[in-house]
Structure 1
């Protein structure tokens, strides 16, 4: 079978007319070109050039082969370009499943920045619980999971992407908005929106209250920080919301304050142990980490959002 390299040498010799010039263009020796031409002729079983007075004149058969080879070269160039784009993360498909607080908060903002230089990307975005994230990753239906609580499951690998904290979020005119730092004990004396005791955030907050001899009190129970934030935006009370959910929020007539004690948390990237992690997925995780690094645990850039 004639190789792509043999076709390249054949086409170059036809184009420039001599083995010496072809060798120069191809970066090989003239004998190597001559030997390759003779070997190709042996393979195909008929002459490819007429040799007269030191020049090579291609036969009709050689011209026909070279013409067909151009299609191969064009396809090869296309494949090379695709490989370059895949290496650079500018094409492909990225499937992300995130918990609601991440999916409603920072994810759309960061994706908007990520695809500015990657207009050919195809995206698939879903919101789900940790169990749904693990199931999607384990079945190969998602490339990346994002969560503020790390799952413990052998099917996924967990990477810490960014540091954050829970912030006390309240209407801008609320009494707690006058404080630079909000003590968690104050939450028991206002209309507190909080998380069910069986949720990871509810368990974390209950532990913190219990260590201080307090019992968490709240008038409204929710499951996700995204829900709590929407209720605060509508003036229903105050809530502890992860700092990632409020990054970049402006002009919403709400305020975010750090707490005393600090309630640290992290954003985690989850990938499947059952399937290879794509280059695009790794690039997006790094982009996400770089984007969030300036916000590391400090919450919004200013007090009022």
Structure 2
């Protein structure tokens, strides 16, 4: 069987007419080229060149082989380009799933920035609960997950991506919108949208109330901060939301205030240990981490 390197030597001799010229072009010795041509002729079982006055004239059979070899060289170059693109993360398939506070505002903005220089990356974006993130990753339906709550599963790798805070979102004309910061306990005295005690955010907030010897009171229970944020924008009341839910777009329908005591949250990037993580997925995860650590980027939210 003729190898690709042998075909390269054959084509070089045909193009340049001498073994010395081919040797110089291929950065090998002239005897090595001559031996290679003889070996190829032994393999195919018929002459490929006529030797005339120091030049090699290719036979019609040699020209036919060389013509077919050009298709192979073109395919090889295409494969090399694809490998370079995959190495650079400019092509590939990226399947992402995130919790709503990440998936509705921040993540679309990050994806748009990431793919601006990678137009050939094929994307799939889903929004789901932490349990759905786990199932998508361990089944191979997603390459990356993003969540405020750290998923707990032995088959997953969880990486802290960025630090955030719980903040108070208010309608712009609400009385609390005029305060510099808001005491968490004061939310019991206004129409308050919050999370069930069985949710991670609800449990975190309940711990604060418990330390002060009281219970949290709210008029509307939701599961996700994105839902609470939309209710605030509609004027239904105030709500604690994670700061990541406010990134990605400017909102004129919501005022944001810091809370006391402060409650920190962390955005986690999640991958599966059951499947190799693609290069483009790793690149996007690192892109997210770097973007979220840059205070100058336009997706940051100003908290007063």
Which range, TM-score by smaller chain? over 0.9
Distance 1:43 1:186 in 2: 88
Which ranges in structure 1 are unaligned for 5 or more consecutive residues?
Answer: none
Deviation by residue 1:93-129 (Cα, 9 ceiling, x = unmatched): 1100111111112011111111111111111111111
CA displacement at 1:251 relative to structure 2: 4.3
Which aligned pairs between 1:75-94 and structure 2 lie closer than 5 A? 75-94=75-94
Does the residue aligned with 2:197 lie in a helix, a strand or coil? Answer: coil
Which ranges in structure 2 are unaligned for 5 or more consecutive residues?
Answer: none
Which aligned pairs between 1:46-195 and structure 2 lie closer than 5 A? 46-195=46-195
Which aligned pairs between 1:7-46 and structure 2 lie closer than 5 A? 7-46=7-46
Greater alpha carbon shift after TM alignment, 284-293 vs 205-214:
205-214
CA displacement at 1:174 relative to structure 2: 1.3
Distance 1:271 1:251 in 2: 31
Distance 2:301 2:123 in 1: 29
Which aligned pairs between 1:191-230 and structure 2 lie closer than 5 A? 191-230=191-230
CA displacement at 1:301 relative to structure 2: 4.2
Contact 1:145/1:269 (<8 A) preserved: yes
Change (3 A) 1:271 1:248: closer
CA displacement at 1:253 relative to structure 2: 2.5
Does the residue aligned with 2:294 lie in a helix, a strand or coil? Answer: helix
Does the residue aligned with 1:236 lie in a helix, a strand or coil? Answer: coil
Distance 2:255 2:82 in 1: 47
Contact 2:246/2:301 (<8 A) preserved: no
User: TM-score of the superposition, structure 1-length normalised?
Assistant: 0.96
Distance 2:20 2:301 in 1: 67
Does the residue aligned with 2:95 lie in a helix, a strand or coil? Answer: strand
CA displacement at 1:262 relative to structure 2: 1.2
Distance 1:28 1:214 in 2: 84
1:242 aligns with 2:242: yes
Distance 2:295 2:218 in 1: 29
Contact 1:192/1:238 (<8 A) preserved: yes
**Count of residue pairs brought into register by the alignment:** 302
**Cα root mean square deviation, aligned:** 1.5
Distance 2:300 2:217 in 1: 26
Contact 1:105/1:226 (<8 A) preserved: no
User: Structure 1 stretches (4+) deviating beyond 6 angstroms?
Assistant: none
Contact 1:166/1:242 (<8 A) preserved: yes
Contact 1:134/1:155 (<8 A) preserved: no
Deviation by residue 1:173-228 (Cα, 9 ceiling, x = unmatched): 21211122211111111111000111111111111221222211111000000100
